[in-house]
Amino acid sequence: MSEKNVSKIPAYSSFVYGDRYNSLTASETLDTRFSARLRTFFQYDTLVSAALRNIKMNQSVLQLGLVYGDEIDQVAQTVGAYGQFDVIDVNPFQVSRNQEKYGSIYPCLHIFEQDAAGLKIQKQYDVVLCFLLLQELPVVTKMKVINNALNAVKDGGCAIFIDYHNPLYWHPLRYVVRMYNRLRHPFAEKLWDREIDTFAKNKIDFVWHKSTYFGRMFQKVVATRKNNIKEVALTEAQQQSLEDYFLPDF
């Protein structure tokens, strides 16, 4: 990954999200574990744990988009000093802030300024992670990011998408969340109407597996690039067994 590949912030970002990602005060307020938990109805730890179950020590991991909270810390700790954890983001303020925040704490962690929608694939990774990113992107950008994530996956590797989902009709927060999203995250509702795998151009090159959490308000979609199909099928079956045991949907 090259640090010289710099992109402009998309025009919609400032229009929709204002200074949420460009203000030091806002960033310091939002970039806490409590804030991250509060904004996900205290499902943050569950979602981070779900992502970590597909990441192993010493792997190469690419994350598309910086996030508030301690998710990056937990991924870096899981990857370990001998792995590789690259994170890209289009916002130069957040890139600079996070580079200063993390410094050299995690030897595996490298943060670059780059647009995930215009990602130039220079290498492929064991895991490509999108953590609560798609909810903030317009449909066309969602499609570009999802396909760029898939293109960056090695044979036998996987792309992980953690994001919002269409809640159960009886979910007590369903309409509260819908109204909140329409006011604050207008692109999130598309994830209610459309499955993530339908954005993929080469869907058949991957084995897809979806899990949902908190009354289906959140989802985890894992796309494993086909290598040994029997091995992939076994891994997905084991993963489903683990998630059914540890994180039942309700």
Q: What is the DSSP string of 76-134?
A: HHHH-TTSEEEEEES-HHHHHHHHHHHTTSSTTEEEEE--GGG---SS-EEEEEEES-G
Q: What is the mean pLDDT of residues 221-234?
A: 74
Residue 6: pLDDT over 70: no
Contact 167, 215 (CB under 8 A): yes
Using a 10 angstrom Cβ sphere, with 0-12 exposed, 13-18 middle and 19 or more buried, the burial of residue 30 is: middle
Task: Express each pLDDT in 196-211 by its tens digit.
Answer: 999 999 999 999 999 9
What pLDDT, on the 0 to 100 scale, is given for residue 250? 47
For 18-57, the three-class secondary structure string (H helix, E strand, C coil) is CCCCCCHHHHHHHCCHHHHHHHCCCCHHHHHHHHHCCCCC
Helix, strand, coil % in the chain, rounded to nearest 5: 45, 20, 35
Using a 10 angstrom Cβ sphere, with 0-12 exposed, 13-18 middle and 19 or more buried, the burial of residue 86 is: buried
Contact 162, 219 (CB under 8 A): yes
Q: CA torsion angle for 91, 8, 125, 191 (degrees, to 10)?
A: 70
| Banded pLDDT at 222 (limits 50, 70, 90) | very high
- Name the residue with higher pLDDT: 242 or 14: 14
Task: Express each pLDDT in 19-38 by its tens digit.
Answer: 778 889 999 999 999 999 99
What pLDDT, on the 0 to 100 scale, is given for residue 232? 52
Which residue segments constitute the domains of the chain, with CATH numbers given?
11-246 (3.40.50.150)
Mean pLDDT of the chain: 90
Contact 191, 163 (CB under 8 A): yes
- Name the residue with higher pLDDT: 18 or 45: 45
Amino acid present at 205: D
Q: CA torsion angle for 144, 181, 196, 48 (degrees, to 10)?
A: 100
If phi > 0 it is left, if psi is from -120 to 50 it is alpha, else beta; for residue 171 that is beta
